[in-house]
Each structure stands twice: as C-alpha cells, then as structure tokens.
Amino acid sequence: MKDKRWFIFIIGFFVVLAGVGFWGYRQSTERRQLEVTLNNNYYRTFYELTENVQYLTVLLSKILVAEAPNQDRLIFMEIWQRANAAQINLTQLPLPDTMMIRTSKFFTQVGDYAYSFFKADTPVVKTKEKWETLNRLYKKADSLNTELADIEKQLTQGKLYLSELKEGVSGVIQREKPKLARASFKDIEKHMEDIPVLIYDGPFSEHLEKRKPRAISGAKITAPRAQSIALTFMEQQSSNGKYQVKKINLDRGKIPAYRVELVSRPLLSKKDRITLAVSQQGGRVLWLTKARKINRPQISLAKAREIARRYLEVRGYKDMVPVYFEVIGGMVIFNFAATQDKVVLYPDQVKVTVALDTGEVTGFEANAFFMTHYKRKLLPPRLTVTQARKKLSPRLQVRSKGRLVVIPTGPEREKLTYEFQGQLDKDTFLIYINALNGQEEKILRVVRNKEGILTL
C-alpha cells in the first residue's frame, strides 16, 4: 500500500514539475514576444527621430548658404517644424526624463531660434554673430545625426535593442545586450553639453518658450485624474474588458503630460500593454500606443479607414477627413485633417494607426492638432475655383475639381488656398493656389506605392 502511495506521489510530482516547466516556457515565450513587439514600436519612433534630425541637419546647412530673404523664411519654417517633430519623437521613446534633458533643450532652442527669424517683420540680416551661431547649431545637429546613424547601424546589425530602454523589461533581450541602448543615448546627451547660447529677443526668448498649445486649456490635473481619463479613453474602444493602471510618470516636454501605462483586467496577455500621454493641463489625450504582435493582414484599407474615422468621431473628433496614409509592418497609419465650413485645415492633423489583422486601433497621435487647432476667421475667397484653375500650368492634366484648404506657411502663419491634383507624364502633383490673390503658394509631388500615399 505504501509502495502504491509512493508511486502515486512520484507520478504526481513529475506531473506538477512538467506543468511548472510548461508554464515557465510559456511565460518565457510571451515575454520574448512582448519584448520583440515593444522593440518594433520603438524602432518606428526611433527611425522617425533619425529622419527628422537628418532633415534638420540638411536645412541648417542650407541656411548657411542661402541669401534670398524669401528662401530664408521657407528654410527657417522647415527647421522649426523638424525640430518640433524630433522633440515629439524623443518624448515617445521610453527614456528617463533625466537622460535626454539637454537633447530636448537643443530641439526647443533650434525650433524657437528659427521661429524668431521667421516671425520677423523685416528680412533677416545674418550678421557675423548670427551666422556663427547658426553654424554652431549646424555642427551640433550634424554630430547628433552621426550619433543616431551609428545607433541605427547597430540596430540593423542586431547589436542593439531599444526595448531595453524600458524599465522592467529584463528578459532575454536585456540579458543578452545589457544597457547598450541606454549607454548610447547617454553618450548623445553627454555630447550635447556645450549647446550654443542663443540670443534672440532676449536670452532664450522666454516669450517664445512659454508659447502654449492653442487647443489645450483649463486647470492642471492630478495623476489620479490622468489615470481616470486614460481608462475612459481606452474603455470607449475595448470590448475585451476593463483596464488597470500599472505605472504613471510625468513627462515635461513641449506639452507636459502624464505617461500612463495600462494592462487589461483580467490580464488577457502579457503582450496587451497600452501607453497613453494625458496633458497635465486640461487632461487631453495626446497620444496612445499599444504594443502587440501583428499577424497577417485580414482587413482592407477601406475598412481600416472607416475604423479610424469612427474611432475619432467617438472621441469628439468630428468632421475629420483622411488626407494621407502609410502602411508599416502590418499596420496602416492614417492622417486625418480637421475641417471648418467644409474647408480642410491641413495644420490640424491627427494620426490613427490600425492593425490590419484585426482592425484594432493600436496608435493615436494628436500633438500637432492640439498645438494648432482653433476656430479660424476664414475670409471668403476672392477667386472662384474656376478662376484658380486657370492659374495652373497648361502642361498639367488636372485630375480634381479643386477644394478649399488652409495650408501652413510658417509657425502661426497660414493661407487659404485651392488644392488641385494634377499629372505630368507619370508624376502626380498637388498645387496650391492662393484663394485671395491667385498666387501659386506651394507644389507637392505625390508618391503612391504599396506602402501608402506620401508627399514630397
């Protein structure tokens, strides 16, 4: 009898041991999948940062040789836009606030310095002192560009993983490549120590630094309130249950915000993690990203576009129109622009990312919208659409009826234009004719491929 009991005990022990082993293997596999998914999301943000810094470097080099005042204005406008975009990318990488303070400050200073020149009522005179300052900024941007290119090279060679930047990720990836990514970003921050002192309208131009987003107002909210807002925002979308807050931090960027990390309740999968940024002032959701494995596409782009449109509408973004899209890694990113009286407002854009396997929204970004959106006093056009069409090149085959749109011509400067799509040989263009004076304001070339629709 005792032998039988002992035999049953041994069998039970091995069954439990096998169960524990299987559970451990499953946990390890899910952990690895989570780290890979996180790494992919961070890759996308990092590559956007690299692209913006690369453009920023090129633009700063152009301004050193540009002489025409009109050309200067255009370049300064683009510098401002790229610097702000780079700063947004930086805030979306899971870096501690203390790690990239100088780099963030550099983007702020470059953007505001360029803006101070652009807003000037008279043409900018590049004195020797100003030229030397711009040259120092160019060299600093070029150095940063080189550093980022080196990190990018290590990423492509598999020597570096961005997921290790995230606190709490301590699985296989982090064990194999301990602290390499953090060390690389710390090196960048160290090289940013000697940022040039900028003098424009007073040291550091405090009135520009204090410029506020147009669409954010109200009192400052507390961390618990930010948690509640994040949960409400997510539960409008989810049919899988509730979410609970795992972590919350305050990020101090162009728009100070609480970064809230959520997990599903009950925990459906360790891969099911969502991070949102909720503005400290007013409690508006600035962006959202969900890290999960993306499987083979199952839904059409048209269906994904409708999902994105409904997602915005439920959250109060009404009368938005899709303007561009891009397909990346089984996901599609749609750019939607706001409208006012049927006029498309290109500065006021929101991005929505839809996973093409299930149609789930895995990303949302409204930073640009909150910086620029307000009810505009639109002047009635002095030209009809027919009159504006006559301003187009006779060599162009016009493919659209034309519509009224507002386009940015610089920080806090916009123009009401007619947008026409036209074709010359195999190339497609968007041409913008001023609706008040008939001048040609801008030309963009449209690039269509399987990845989406982009403009150059």
Give tens-digit pLDDT for 105-120. 788 888 888 877 876 6
Give 313-347 pLDDT, tens digit per residue.
999 999 999 988 888 778 898 999 999 999 999 98
Position 452 confidence tier, pLDDT thresholds 50, 70, 90? low
The runs of H, that is alpha helices, within 299-412 are 301-314, 367-372, 385-389
> Among 42-46, 254-258, 408-412, whose mean pLDDT is lowest?
408-412
State the pLDDT confidence band at 177, using cuts at 50, 70 and 90. Answer: very low
- What tens digit of pLDDT does each residue of 186-213 get? 665 655 555 554 443 333 333 334 457 8
pLDDT, tens only, 279-299: 999 999 999 988 778 889 999
This model's pTM is above 0.75 = no
For residue range 434-448, list pLDDT tens digits in order.
Answer: 999 999 888 877 777
Q: Computed from CA positions of residues 437, 442, 443, 449, in that sequence, does the dihedral angle turn out positive or negative?
A: negative
Q: Is 117 exposed, middle or buried (0-12, 13-18, 19+ CB in 10 A)?
A: buried
Q: Is 119 helix (H, G, I), strand (E, B) or coil?
A: coil
**376-399 pLDDT tens trace:** 999 999 999 999 999 998 888 999
In this structure, the number of other CB atoms found within 10 A of the CB of residue 86 comes to 27
pLDDT at 101 over 50: yes
CATH topology of domain 223-369: Nuclear Transport Factor 2; Chain: A, (3.10.450)
Find out whether 399 and 344 touch, Cβ atoms under 8 Å: no
User: Domain coordinates of the chain in residue numbers?
Assistant: 32-209, 223-369, 385-455
Alpha-carbon distances, residue 341 vs 244, 409, 431 (angstroms)? 40, 21, 21
